[in-house]
Amino acid sequence: MLPPLQCIIKRAQLSNTNQYLARAASKGLEAAMELRRLRGLSAATARQLFTSTVAPVVDYASNVWMHACKDKGMGPIHRVQRVGAQAIVGTFLTVATSVAEAEAHIATARRRFWKRAVKMWTDIHTLPGTNPLRRCTDQIRKFRRYHRSPLYHVADALKHIDMETLETINPFTLAPWAERVQADGGEQLEGPAEAGGCMQVAVSSSARNELVGFGVALEKRPPRNRKLKHKALSRTLAARTEQNPFSAELAAMAHVLSTMPGLKDYRITLLTSNKAAVLTLRNPRQQSGQEFVCRIYKLIKRLQRNRNHVQFRWVSASEDNKLLGLAKVQARAATQEDALLQESAPRMKSTTLNLARSQAVPRNTLPADVGKHAKRVDAALPGKHTRLLYDRLSWKEATVLAQLRTGMARLNGYLYRINAAATGQCACGQAKETVEHFLFRCRKWTAHRTEMLQCTDIHRGNLSFYLGGKSPSDDQKWTPNLEAVRASIRFAIATGRLEAT
């Protein structure tokens, strides 16, 4: 009897995804080995090469097969990560993957896959409604027993974020021949409408109390009676999970330009302290906030038909501008606690992407059952400080430090464990040759140790201190003592004990 059709399809899918996985791993391994061959690179350079040459090879099309990547299937990918870590800081291949990744300060493969998948899921939702991918997101989200989309689990992890209200981002904001707005960073441009009035509008945004709002302050000088008119307004735009200060600046400009339909022969200058907003307006691209930019361009066109002239000016936040100060006060008023929303705007892609990443992308953590020695040396693993430790070191220095920090070093204590030495005892005959014995106690190296011991009076014999780790007694403000770390590395190199024979 034949198996049911669905089973056949499922089996075919599975073998396909496994093939993808195997292919990604073998290609990645090839790239990582090439990288490892380039001895003599600093850790910073090697890490950069890893992210630009090895990671993309492994991650290619990972959106399609990552759902099939269970713990067992991750083995070959983990191997790529370990070879990469070896190329960066010189950890041994026997070091647990997560410890090697933490030492080399590279993201775990799972984290990379999720980051890509979340980005793709968000990107799909910003496509125009005419795109077939955009229209099938509902079907992807649906739970099915068979024919489940590879993106289903991403959709499921992000089901609490309302993606349907996301902004639409078109391939082009403006036609290539459309005139861009004038924007400058300094002195005022001469407008053509000398006979008419002039107007200065300052916009500002504020983000606090989980809210985003904007404020506008306006100074209008009509042509004849020469009496200044002032106006100010504030608007609460949306929750901070949907909008950001940048989009609020654009929203403020769109709002204020829409309030002046009857204006004629005016020279309008919009002031802002947000440089990104001015640069975006001058050169709009395929980016978050595009709808606001389009709206601003449409409104400018309408104003220009009435012989108005609109320009944008960036004012440095340190400059004391009265109008901008007023706008800032208004913006802050818009984000007071318990302020009610007054506008409705599409969710910003950039903000949503950040939120989605924080919810769905797994953090780098060390599993409970690995890296006993590494955890004892450094309670702050994984952390940014490992970059600080390794980045300025040569590969030789880095591998010495990595060996001491991971405990997997060319010392008898470890070599015996992997059957590479006849005994775990140190050549001095006193004790087992561990990292601690080697660094602090072995009598063979007493002469070499003087410089190292001069580094500190209170931390003598503290493994964490000498290897740039955080010991449990250190407080929040702890930073590694690089002097001590350098001294330990010099000591280890001087003894020649850790070098390959």
CB of 497 to Zn ion, least distance (A): 10
Q: Give the nearer residue to Zn ion in terms of CB position, either 17 or 434.
A: 434
In DSSP terms, which residues pair with 208 in a beta bridge?
Answer: 211
Closer Cβ to Zn ion, 152 or 440, answer by number = 440
Query: Smallest gap, in angstroms, from Cβ of residue 397 to Zn ion?
Result: 23
From 42-50, 135-143, 440-448, 476-484, span contacting Zn ion (CB under 5 A): 440-448
Tokens for 96, please give them.
Answer: 């647990």
Pair of tokens at residue 486: 């350098």
CB 467, min distance to Zn ion, A: 18
Residue (43 or 426) nearer to Zn ion, CB: 426
Q: Which is nearer to Zn ion, 103 or 436 (CB)?
A: 436
Residue 228 CA to residue 336 CA, distance in Å, equals 30
Residue among 268 and 442 whose Cβ is closer to Zn ion = 442
Nearest partner of 400 among 467, 479, 469, 484, judged by Cα: 467
If binding means CB under 5 A, how many residues of this protein chain bind Zn ion? 3
For Zn ion, the closer of residues 430 and 454 by Cβ is: 430
Closer residue to Zn ion (CB): 340 or 447: 447
Provide the Cα torsion 177, 181, 182, 183; round to 10°. Answer: -120
Q: Applying CB under 5 A, which part among 42-50, 123-131, 134-142, 428-436 lies near Zn ion?
A: 428-436
Q: Longest Cα pair distance anywhere in the chain, in angstroms?
A: 101
Q: Choose between 353 and 426: whose C-beta lies nearer to Zn ion.
A: 426
Q: Minimum distance from CB of 453 to Zn ion (Å)?
A: 17
**Cα 105 from Cα 442, distance rounded (Å):** 31
Q: Binding of Zn ion at residue 426 (CB under 5 A)?
A: yes
DSSP characters for 180-195?
A: PPEEESSSPPPPS-SS
In whole angstroms, how close is the CB of 444 to Zn ion at the nearest point?
A: 6
Q: How far apart are CA 413 and CA 478, in angstroms?
A: 30
Smallest gap from residue 432 Cβ to Zn ion (A): 9
Task: Please say whether the beta carbons of 331 and 234 come within 8 A.
Answer: yes
Structure tokens belonging to residue 217: 């302050």
Task: Give me the phi and psi of 37, to 5 degrees please.
Answer: -70, -25
* Nearest to Zn ion of 281, 442 (CB atom): 442
Which C-beta is closer to Zn ion: that of 7 or that of 420? 420
43-to-88, 107, 179 alpha-carbon distances in Å: 5, 15, 47
Containing 432, the helix (H) or strand (E) segment is none
State the nearest-atom distance from the C-beta of 392 to Zn ion, in Å: 30
* 342, amino acid identity: Q
By CB under 5 A, is residue 404 in contact with Zn ion?
A: no
> Judged by CB under 5 A, which stretch of 105-113, 357-365, 411-419, 420-428 contacts Zn ion?
420-428
To the nearest whole angstrom, how small is the minimum distance from the Cβ of residue 104 to Zn ion?
30
> Among residue numbers 36 through 75, which ones bind Zn ion (CB under 5 A)?
none
Candidates 144-152, 336-344, 394-402, 441-449; binding stretch for Zn ion (CB under 5 A): 441-449
User: From the list 11, 428, 446, 461, which residue makes contact with Zn ion (rule: CB under 5 A)?
Assistant: 428
User: By CB under 5 A, what part of segment 442-471 binds Zn ion?
Assistant: 442
Q: Which helix (H) or strand (E) holds 73?
A: none
Rounded distance between C-alpha atoms, residue 272 and residue 370, angstroms = 52
- Please name the helix (run of DSSP H) or strand (run of DSSP E) that holds residue 272, with its range, or none: strand 266-272
Q: Which span (35-43, 152-160, 357-365, 421-429) binds Zn ion, by CB under 5 A?
A: 421-429
Tell me how far, at minimum, the Cβ of 437 lies from Zn ion, in Å. Answer: 6
Closest approach of Zn ion to the CB of residue 431, in Å:
6
Of residues 106, 98, 74, 70, the one with CA closest to residue 369: 98
Check: CB of residue 92 under 8 Å from CB of residue 401: no
How many residues are present in the chain?
Answer: 501
CB 210 within 8 A of CB 240: yes
Q: Which residues lie near Zn ion (CB under 5 A)?
A: 426, 428, 442
